[in-house]
Structure 1
Amino acid sequence: MKKKLIAIAVGTAMAVPVVAMADVSFYGRAHISVDYLDDGADYSETNLSSNSSRLGFKGNHQINPNLEAFFQIEQQINFTTGNSDGGTDFATRDTFVGLRNSDLGALQVGRFDSPFKVARGPANLFGDQVGDMRNLARAGDGRFDERYDNTIQYTTPTMGGFNAKLAYSMYQGEWAVEDEDSDALSMSLNYAGGPLEASLAYEKVEEDASRGERDGIRAAAAYKLTDAFKLVGFYQTLDYDGNDATTSLDRDLWTSDTYGVGGEYKVAPNTALKAMWMTRDSDADNADADMWVVGVEHKLDKAVRVYANYAVVDNDDNSELVPWKEARTANNVENAMGEKAAGFTVGLRYDF
Structure 2
Amino acid sequence: MHTKLATIALAAAAAAAPIAASAQSSVTVYGLLDMYMQYGKGDGTQTQIQSGGPQGSRLGFKGTEELGNGLKALFQLEMGINADTGASGQGGLAFGRQAYVGLSSNELGTLTLGRQYTPQFVTVDSYDAFATGTGSVAASGVVSAIARANNAVVYASPSLSGFTFTGMASLGESSTAGQKSFGNLYSASVNYAAGPFSAALSTILQKRSATTGEDAKYALVSSAYDFGTLKLYGLYQIVRNQGTVEANDRREAMFGVNVPVSAQGTVAGALGGSRISGVDGGSASQFSLGYLHNLSKRTRVYAIASRINNSSAATYTTTSATGDGPVNTVGGQDVKALMLGVRHAF
1:9 to 2:11 alignment: yes
Identity of aligned residues (%): 27
Number of the residue aligned with 1:311: 306
Contact 1:72/1:94, CA 8 A, preserved across alignment: yes
Q: Which moved more, 1:94-103 or 1:204-213?
A: 204-213
Q: Which runs of 5+ in 2 are unaligned?
A: none
| Secondary structure in 1 matching 2:18 | helix
Give the corresponding residue for 1:224: 226
CA contact (8 A) 1:122 1:221 kept: no
Partner of 2:216: 214
Offset, 1:265: 1.0
Q: Of residues 263, 288, 296 in structure 2, which corresponds to 1:293?
A: 288
Task: Indicate which of 102, 107, 118 corresponds to 1:103.
Answer: 107
Letter in 1 for 2:196: P
**1:119 corresponding residue in structure 2:** 123
Contact 1:315–1:338 (8 Å) recurs in 2: yes
Task: State the partner residue of 2:237.
Answer: 236
Q: Indicate how the Cα distance of structure 1 residues 340 and 168 shifts in structure 2: closer, same or farther if over 3 A, else same.
A: same
* Alpha-carbon distance change, 164 to 90 in structure 1, aligned in 2, over 3 angstroms: same
CA distance in 2, matches of 1:264, 1:168: 33
Residue 270 (structure 1) aligned to one of 264, 269, 282: 264
What do the CA deviations read for 1:232-271 (whole angstroms, capped 9, x no partner)?
111111000766xx5xxxx45x411111212111111111
TM-score (norm 1): 0.87
Q: Distance in 2 between matches of 1:20 and 1:83?
A: 34
CA distance in 2, matches of 1:295, 1:74: 28
Change (3 A) 1:89 1:122: closer
1:153-172 to 2 correspondences below 5 Å? 153-171=154-172
1:339 paired residue number: 333
Find the counterpart in structure 2 of residue 182 from structure 1: 183
CA contact (8 A) 1:313 1:342 kept: yes
- Structure 1 residues 38 and 302, CA gap change in structure 2 (3 angstroms): same
Tell me how far apart the structure 2 counterparts of residues 307 and 334 of structure 1 sit (CA, whole Å).
24
TM-score, scaled relative to structure 2:
0.88
Task: Give the corresponding residue for 1:328.
Answer: 322
Residue type of the alignment partner of 1:115: P
Q: Hey, what's the Cα distance between the residues in 2 that align with 1:241 and 1:86?
A: 21
In structure 2, do the counterparts of structure 1 residues 187 and 86 end up closer, same or farther at CA, with 3 Å as the change threshold? Answer: closer
Structure 1: segments with no counterpart, 5+ residues: none
* 1:152-171 alpha-carbon deviations (Å, 9 max, x no partner): 11111112222111100011
Matches within 5 A, 1:67-106: 67-83=71-87, 88=92, 90=94, 92-106=96-110
Contact persistence 2:317–2:325 (CA under 8 A): no
**TM superposition shift of 1:19:** 1.6
SS at match of 2:223: strand
SS in 2 for 1:116: helix
Q: SS at 1:314's partner residue?
A: strand
Q: What is the CA-CA distance between 1:331 and the residue it aligns to?
A: 4.1
Q: Is the 8 A contact 2:133 2:139 kept in 1?
A: no
Residue 50 of structure 2 is matched in structure 1 by: 49
Q: Which residue of 2 aligns with 1:131?
A: 135
Q: What SS is found at the alignment partner of 2:328?
A: coil
